[in-house]
Amino acid sequence: MALNVAIVGSGPAGFYTADSLLKADPACRIDILDRLPTPYGLIRFGVAPDHEKTKNVMRGFARTASDDRVNFYGDVDVGDALSLDELRGMYDAVVLAVGAAHDRQLGIPGEDKAGVVGSATFVNWYNAHPDFVDRTPDLDTSSVVIIGAGNVAIDVARVLVKTPAEMAATDLPAYAAEPIQGAPISDVYMVARRGPVEAKFTNVELREMGHLENCVPQVAAADLPDEVTGEMSPRDRRVREKNLETLRTFAAREADEKPKRVHFVFFASPVEVLGDGRAEAVRFERTRVENGRAVGTGEHFEIPCGLVVAAVGYLSMPVDGAPFDHRYGVVVNDAGRVAPGLYAVGWIKRGPTGVIGTNKPDGRDAAQQIVDDLGSGGGMPGRDGLESLLRSRGRRWVDFEDWRRIEDAEIAAASDGAPRKKLYRREDMYAVLDQQRAAG
Ligand SMILES: Cc1cc2nc3c(=O)[nH]c(=O)nc-3n(C[C@H](O)[C@H](O)[C@H](O)COP(=O)(O)OP(=O)(O)OC[C@H]3O[C@@H](n4cnc5c(N)ncnc54)[C@H](O)[C@@H]3O)c2cc1C
């Protein structure tokens, strides 16, 4: 009897798991459920709109979803449409691949003021996530502070300063492009608690900041050490040396070369967001790095700004019916095994770190564990049970053919050069499907 496996979440971790399972047990049947009508998780809602090539991985995922043994159930929230226990009652194995979609807090006074936003919220907004399209930030300011020194911080800075021409061939939605590109922003400060050697940028993303049409990168030469010191892998050392080299070229750039500037500010820890009801400045304490940790020096300074974006990491939320480790923000698991028949992969298993490909080994491990634990012995009703339960509750879902229709409508509506014009309201997506059905 075929093994019936449900994967909750259609981001990279979910798709890599499906892919590995199809190879590990060619007789299995896999159903991928997502709370959103659209597949691909952070590939659609995280990856920056001007990095279309990064999204090419979706093509391979689409091939997996189109396999006869795989079904997609979009707009099915596990925890709302049905419970995890109900799902486990219908499948031989359930794999949690729900990611970590929530903002980590700064933990400083004033962060609840208007004009302070987390990067998850901000990125979801400009990437047309259905739950965030109405969270328009107030961009009426000349100065923005981004707290954090990783690729997400760089993505946010880049999207804020790129010109309309630089963003034309992207899927940045018009409702975000208009306020961003019409904003009087001239200076973006990316502030890191530690130094350039500890910063987590990848070099391609950092170098890109030196080639923007209307914006020049700035960094204080005094913040750049002569060499990379400390214990680290040869690979990490290479990346950091390259980053230092790139930052040295930034230190030589003139502030008035272009109308906008992105300032890389190192050795500064946020202490408080200042302002009367809304953010007007961030107060920082200067730091020095001791044994890899930022230590306060007692010296303070302020950066005036009207918008603060906290890019300090992501958090998972507990999944009802699965044990949760609040300290590490992950589902309690032993190398991916959560409970008999229940597995975890991706950010909900490991925490929010790494790139798309980092999720691949998780998928391989989960597939192997499922085959090892269950053999090929199935017996649970799988999709027949799921569909009759959803129907009995009057729940509609988006299958993969439906998604292809939505995707085709997005591609057809795109202006010249843009890959797609994203639909971002559920009702608009269902309207596309209903119109096509009515047209026969
Ligand atoms: C802003 C940002 C930009 C990034 N850019 C890059 C990049 O350029 N290149 C790169 O290699 N990596 C990038 N990454 C990292 C990469 O996106 C992650 O490594 C990867 O997406 C994590 O995969 P995941 O499947 O664990 O989670 P996700 O991609 O978040 O997928 C989780 C899925 O689960 C669904 N889900 C959640 N709860 C439920 C529920 N209750 N029921 C059903 N479904 C549910 C969600 O809707 C989502 O589709 C970026 C990350 C972020 C945050």
pLDDT in tens, 207-234: 999 999 999 999 999 999 999 988 889 9
* Same fold for the pair 4-101+316-398 and 104-313: no
Distance 41 CA to ligand 1 centre (A): 5
Distance 297 CA to ligand 1 centre (A): 37
pLDDT tens digits, 239-258:
999 999 999 999 999 999 99
- Ligand 1 centroid to Cα of residue 98, in Å, is 8
Ligand 1 pocket: which of 16, 40, 42 to mutate (most atoms within 8 A of CB): 42
Q: Which atom of ligand 1 lies at the shortest distance from residue 358's CA?
A: 19
Q: What mean pLDDT do residues 356-368 have?
A: 98
Neighbouring-strand partners of residue 144? 188, 307
Rounded average pLDDT over 19-48: 97
Locate the ligand 1 atom nearest the alpha carbon of residue 346 and give its number. 26
The reported pLDDT for the residue numbered 78 is 98
The three-state (H, E, C) secondary structure of the chain, written as one string: CCCEEEEECCCHHHHHHHHHHHHHCCCCEEEEEECCCCCCCHHHHCCCCCCHHHHHHHHHHHHHHHCCCEEEEECCCECCCECHHHHHCCCCEEEECCCCCEECCCCCCCCCCECEEEHHHHHHHHCCCCCCCCCCCCCCCCEEEEECCCHHHHHHHHHHHCCHHHHCCCCCCHHHHHHHHHCCCCEEEEECCCCCCCCCCCHHHHHHHHHCCCEEEEECHHHCCCCCCCCCCHHHHHHHHHHHHHHHHHHCCCCCCCCEEEEEECCEEEEEEECCCECCEEEEEEEEEECCEEEEEEEEEEEECCEEEECCCEECCCCCCCCEECCCCEECCECCEEECCEEECCHHHHCCCCCHHHHHHHHHHHHHHHHHHHCCCCCCCCHHHHHHHHHHCCCCCECHHHHHHHHHHHHHHCCCCCCCCCCCCHHHHHHHHHHHHHCC
Q: Partners of 304 in the beta sheet?
A: 281
Which stretch, 33-37, 228-232, 235-239, 351-355, has highest mean pLDDT? Answer: 33-37
- As given in the structure block, the two tokens for residue 1 are 């009897």
Q: Does the structure show a pLDDT above 90 at 377?
A: no
Q: Provide the residue ranges of all domains of the chain, joining segments of one domain with +.
A: 4-101+316-398, 104-313
376 band by pLDDT with thresholds 50, 70 and 90: low
d(CA 399, CA 419): 22
Closest residue CA from atom 27 of ligand 1: 99
CATH number at 4-101+316-398: 3.40.50.720
- Rounded to 5 degrees, φ, ψ at 357 are -65, -20
Nearest atom, ligand 1, residue 100 CA: 30
For ligand 1, atom 12, name the residue with the nearest CA: 355
Give the length of the chain: 440
For residues 34-50, give the mean pLDDT.
98
Which top CATH class is 104-313? alpha beta
* Nearest-CA residue for atom 15 of ligand 1: 355
Contact 29, 5 (CB under 8 A): yes
Averaged over 381-403, what is the pLDDT?
Answer: 97
Ligand 1 environment, Cβ below 6 A: 8-14, 33-36, 41-42, 46-47, 51, 54, 77-79, 97-99, 101, 123, 152, 155, 314, 346-347, 354-356, 358-359
The pLDDT of residue 379 is 84
Nearest-CA residue for ligand 1 atom 5 is: 47
The separation between CA 440 and the C-alpha centre of its own chain, rounded to angstroms, equals 37
Tell me the CB-side half-sphere exposure of residue 118, using CA atoms within 13 A: 16
For residue 349, the CA-to-ligand 1 centroid distance in Å is: 12
**What is the pLDDT, as a whole number, of residue 378?**
77
Counting from 1 in the atom list of ligand 1, the atom nearest the Cα of 9 is 34
User: Ligand 1: which atom is nearest the Cα of residue 39?
Assistant: 49
Q: In what order do the strands lie in the sheet with 342-344?
A: 70-74, 29-34, 4-8, 93-96, 342-344, 337-339
Average pLDDT, the chain: 96
pLDDT in tens, 94-116: 999 999 999 999 999 999 999 99
Cβ atoms of 126 and 180 closer than 8 Å: yes
Mean pLDDT of 76-85: 98
Ligand 1 centroid distance, CA of 99 (Å)? 5
Distance 32 CA to ligand 1 centre (A): 15
CA distances in angstroms from 250 to 46, 162, 210, 267, listed in the order given: 27, 17, 7, 17
Residue percentage of the chain with pLDDT more than 70: 100
Q: Which atom of ligand 1 is least distant from the CA of 98?
A: 34
Using the mean position of ligand 1's atoms as its centre, give its distance from the Cα of residue 42 in Å: 4
Q: Is the pLDDT of residue 414 over 90?
A: yes
**Among 295, 281, 286, 237, which Cα is nearest to 265's?**
286
pLDDT in tens, 86-96: 999 999 999 99
Q: What is the pTM of this model?
A: 0.96
For residue 176, the model assigns a pLDDT of 98
Relative to the CA of 78, which ligand 1 atom is closest?
42
